[in-house]
Amino acid sequence: MSQLSFSDAEGQAKKRKVTRREKFLNQMEELLPWKELERPIARYYSKSLRGRKPYPLSVMMRIHCMQLFYNLSDPAMEDTLYEVQSMRQFAGITIDTVPDETTILNFRHLLEEHNLGEKLFQKINKHLEKKGLSFKEGTIMDASIIAAPSSTRNQSGTRDPEMHQTKKGNQWHFGMKVHVGVDDTLGLIHSLTTTAANVHDLKPSHELLHGKERRVFGDSGYMGIQKREEHRERSVNWFINCRHSKRREYAQTSPFYRLEQVKSHIRSKVEHVFSRIKNQFGYGKVRYRGLHKNTNRLYLLAGFTNLLRVKKWLM
């Protein structure tokens, strides 16, 4: 299946420069634990073939990952595979064996139907834990808004009912929130959940803590977290930033102001996570209606983010 066609071989022979896309794909080929990721999918994939000649699971898994790397739709993924030889090589196919958009769509629906995004995320984290890259003494919590189309010019004539609007500063946003818990040492995501944009950051905060923390960091949106019923029994040190209005009341040389700076410096690790998901992987705006499909995709993007975060130790 991975044998090069004559056209692919000729193009590869003429090319001299290694492109940034090729460097990135080679990097992800080395970073991702492919066999471990394919294992939870295999039992469902074998039942979905229905008599037709199947593509190997490894091929479809690589195509799905590339679809997430470059934030491509199903038709765009098919077109790109025809156009870009390095992506065909990464998937292990030739130009004569490119799967159509329906096959790509069906594989994505298979992952969504069985909530495999979360399982694959957990597999990646276990892989990192085996490499000694897992720290559980401290957690940083934060949330970020992911925009959704607010227009009603669509087939149903309505907005997505699972998305809502919220005001941040002086600006209104419509969409969803992704809430993450990351360790305060390397900034690796260990917990993730999603809500509508109008849900307060405190509400899903208990889902972001694994229970082994000694310290928890958060911005001013988490003020009063220690008073909530679900957190009263936790024996942790809470390091929650105060509001900017209160911080401005103190001189920059005061101990209180410097403590707030230290909290912000540690908490900044979580911002790198959102930057990777939104900027590198292009997921600043939802691709699907509803929370379920978007959450399934975000779990895998979180796994990719973790791998890239510690690539210098893995490679």
What is the pLDDT at residue 17? 86
Q: Measure Cα distances from 159 to 3, 150, 155, 293 in Å.
A: 46, 6, 10, 16
User: How far apart, in whole angstroms, are the C-alpha atoms of residue 279 and residue 281?
Assistant: 6
What is the pLDDT at residue 122? 97
CATH number of 135-287: 3.30.420
Q: Tell me the mean pLDDT per 10 residues along the chain, length 315.
A: 58 74 96 96 79 83 97 96 96 94 95 96 96 93 95 84 91 96 96 96 95 94 93 92 87 90 93 96 94 97 97 90
What is the pLDDT at residue 280? 95
Q: What is the pLDDT of residues 41-96, one digit of tens each?
A: 998 987 766 656 789 999 999 999 999 999 999 999 999 999 999 999 999 999 99
Full DSSP string of 177-199? EEEEEEETTT--EEEEEEEETTS
What is the pLDDT at residue 272? 94
CB 172 within 8 A of CB 179: no
Domains of the chain by residue range: 6-114, 135-287
Which of 80, 75, 101, 92 lies closest to 21 in space, CA to CA?
A: 80
